Amino acid sequence: MNRHFTTILDLTADEFMDIIDRSLAYKHRRYKNKKPLKNKSIGLFFEKPSTRTRVSFEVAIYELGGNTVNLNPKEMQIGRGETLQDTSRVLSRYLDGIVFRVLSHRTIQTFSECSTIPVINGLSDMYHPCQAIADMMTIKEFKGSLKGIKLAYVGDGNNVANSLIQSCAYADIELVLACPEEYNPDSNVIEEIQEKFKRDIRITADPFEAVKDADVVYTDVWVSMGQEGDKDKKIEILKDFQVNSTLMSHAKKDAIVLHCLPAYRGLEITDEVIDGQQSKVFDQAENRLHTAKAILEFLIK
Please spell the DSSP secondary structure of the chain, one letter per residue. Answer: ----BSSGGGS-HHHHHHHHHHHHHHHHTTT----TTTT-EEEEEESS--SHHHHHHHHHHHHTT-EEEEE-GGGSGGGGT--HHHHHHHHHHH-SEEEEE-S-HHHHHHHHHH-SS-EEES--SS--HHHHHHHHHHHHHHHS-STT-EEEEES---HHHHHHHHHHHHHT-EEEEE--GGGPPPHHHHHHHHHHH--PPEEES-HHHHHTT-SEEEE--SS-TT-GGGHHHHHHHHGGG-B-HHHHTTS-TT-EEEE-S---BTTTB-HHHHTSTTB-HHHHHHHHHHHHHHHHHHH--
Nearer of residues 2 and 104 to ligand CP, judged by Cβ: 104
Residues that bind ligand CP (CB under 6 A): 50-53, 123, 131, 260-262
225 touches ligand NVA by CB under 6 A: yes
Nearer of residues 203 and 221 to ligand NVA, judged by Cβ: 221
| Residue 220 contact partner, candidates ligand CP, ligand NVA, none, CB within 5 to 8 A by sort of partner | ligand NVA
Q: How far is the CB of 225 from ligand NVA (least distance, A)?
A: 4
> What is the set of active-site residues?
101, 128, 131, 220, 260, 288
Binding mask 248-277 for ligand NVA (x = CB under 6 A): ------------x-----------------
According to CB under 6 A, which one of 68, 159, 278, 284 is a site residue for ligand NVA? Answer: 159
Nearer of residues 121 and 159 to ligand NVA, judged by Cβ: 159
Binding mask 50-89 for ligand NVA (x = CB under 6 A): ----------------------------------------
According to CB under 6 A, which one of 102, 179, 190, 221 is a site residue for ligand NVA? Answer: 221
Q: Which residues pair with 269 in a beta bridge?
A: 243, 265
Q: How far is the CB of 261 from ligand NVA (least distance, A)?
A: 7
Q: How far is the CB of 262 from ligand CP (least distance, A)?
A: 6
| Residue 51 contact partner, candidates ligand NVA, ligand CP, none, CB within 5 to 8 A by sort of partner | ligand CP
Q: How far is the CB of 253 from ligand NVA (least distance, A)?
A: 29
Distance separating alpha carbons of residues 55 and 47, to the nearest angstrom: 15
φ/ψ of 150, rounded to 5, equals -110, 125
Q: How far is the CB of 290 from ligand CP (least distance, A)?
A: 14
Task: Give the binding site for ligand NVA (CB under 6 A).
Answer: 123, 158-160, 220-221, 224-225, 260
